[in-house]
């Protein structure tokens, strides 16, 4: 249980770190650049331009919205038929662009917008610059904090698991010494301890994985759509890392704790 609990907390922080990455990708890939075309631009020219944008490797999607579609949507939202009042449709054709997350940083977006503005049919380009700065700065800070916390919990896992094993072997120090006195080799004595604690460590890791999976399931059911399990690999990596972490800590800790009492003088056991 002590192994399982500390691995659970370490894994939970790993999941939070992965979730922050997922939220980062979500904000970046839903960051929208709106390109408004010159009045009088033919719809065909606007569609051709959107298709050229869509073929660019950094563009996730480029959706052409005609002035008629924009007007219809605006009238539905506002409940006012401004075309009848004005006698014409003042809205331009537009293209709504979303970039792949790797290209959603301020420097690249500025260059991308400057490149788009050079096209003669483009009138203006709008994007929420303040949101982009907030996402880039705040999420990066969150990731650094989480990395520090994961490192701290890794050290805590190392300390707790190592001390748990040392205390257990300390309680069996007379058994170890008795086996040595009747002629058992060091390898013969250490092997059962390695096997026992290795099994306990794997069971503890599986317990931690089950708890983390339960929390993920609860979050997904309670806040539907908050987590997107499109790529299971990061979660499999976290689960594998917990098992590997328990093995990496347990085997050396068990071996050196046993060796200590094998080398210790009988009088010092008391």
Q: What pLDDT is recorded for position 216?
A: 82
Record the pTM.
0.65
Per-residue pLDDT reduced to its tens digit, 134-169? 766 777 777 788 778 878 878 887 888 888 888 888
Residue-by-residue pLDDT tens, the chain, 270 positions: 878 888 888 888 888 878 777 777 777 777 888 999 988 888 898 889 989 988 888 888 899 988 888 878 877 777 777 677 777 777 888 999 998 877 887 778 888 888 888 888 888 888 877 777 776 677 777 778 877 887 887 888 788 888 888 888 888 888 888 888 888 888 898 999 999 989 988 999 999 999 988 988 887 777 665 565 666 788 888 889 899 988 988 888 888 888 888 887 777 776
Q: What pLDDT is recorded for position 224?
A: 64
In sequence order, the 6+-apart residues with CB closer than 8 A to the CB of 200 are: 3, 250
Burial class of residue 202, CB neighbours in 10 A (0-12, 13-18, 19+)? middle
Strand order in the sheet with 32-37: 59-65, 94-99, 32-37, 122-126
Q: What pLDDT is recorded for position 209?
A: 92
Q: Where are the domains of the chain?
A: 2-24+134-269, 32-127
Per-residue pLDDT reduced to its tens digit, 62-76? 999 888 888 788 777
Q: What pLDDT is recorded for position 82?
A: 66
190 with 259: CB under 8 angstroms?
A: yes
Query: Residue 62 phi/psi, 5° resolution?
Result: -140, 110
Neighbours of 254 (CB within 10 A): 23
What sign has the CA pseudo-torsion 72, 89, 119, 46? Answer: positive
Return the CATH class of domain 32-127: alpha beta
Rg of the chain, C-alpha, whole Å: 30
């Amino acid at each position: 249980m002590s192994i399982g609990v500390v691995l659970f907390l370490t894994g939970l922080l790993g999941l939070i770190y992965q979730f922050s990455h997922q939220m980062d990708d979500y904000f970046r890939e839903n960051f929208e650049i709106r390109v408004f075309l010159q009045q009088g631009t033919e719809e065909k020219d606007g569609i051709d331009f959107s298709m050229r944008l869509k073929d660019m490797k950094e563009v996730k999607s480029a959706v052409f919205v005609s002035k008629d579609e924009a007007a219809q949507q605006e009238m539905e939202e506002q409940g006012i038929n401004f075309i009848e009042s004005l006698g014409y449709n003042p809205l331009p054709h537009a293209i709504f662009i979303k970039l792949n997350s790797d290209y959603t940083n301020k420097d690249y977006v500025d260059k991308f917008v400057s490149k788009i503005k050079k096209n003669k049919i483009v009138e203006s380009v709008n994007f929420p610059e303040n949101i982009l700065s907030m996402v880039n700065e705040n999420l990066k800070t969150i990731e650094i904090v989480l990395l520090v916390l994961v490192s701290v919990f890794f050290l805590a896992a190392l300390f707790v698991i190592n001390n748990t094993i040392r205390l257990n072997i300390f309680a069996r120090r007379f058994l170890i010494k008795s086996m040595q006195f009747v002629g058992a080799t060091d390898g013969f004595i250490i092997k059962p301890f390695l096997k026992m604690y290795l099994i306990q460590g794997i069971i503890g890791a599986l317990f931690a994985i089950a708890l983390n999976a339960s929390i993920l399931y609860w979050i997904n059911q309670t806040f539907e759509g908050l987590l997107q399990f499109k790529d299971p690999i990061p979660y499999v990596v976290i689960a594998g890392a917990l098992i590997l972490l328990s093995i990496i800590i347990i085997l050396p800790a068990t071996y050196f704790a046993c060796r200590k009492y094998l080398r210790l003088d009988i009088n010092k056991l008391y």
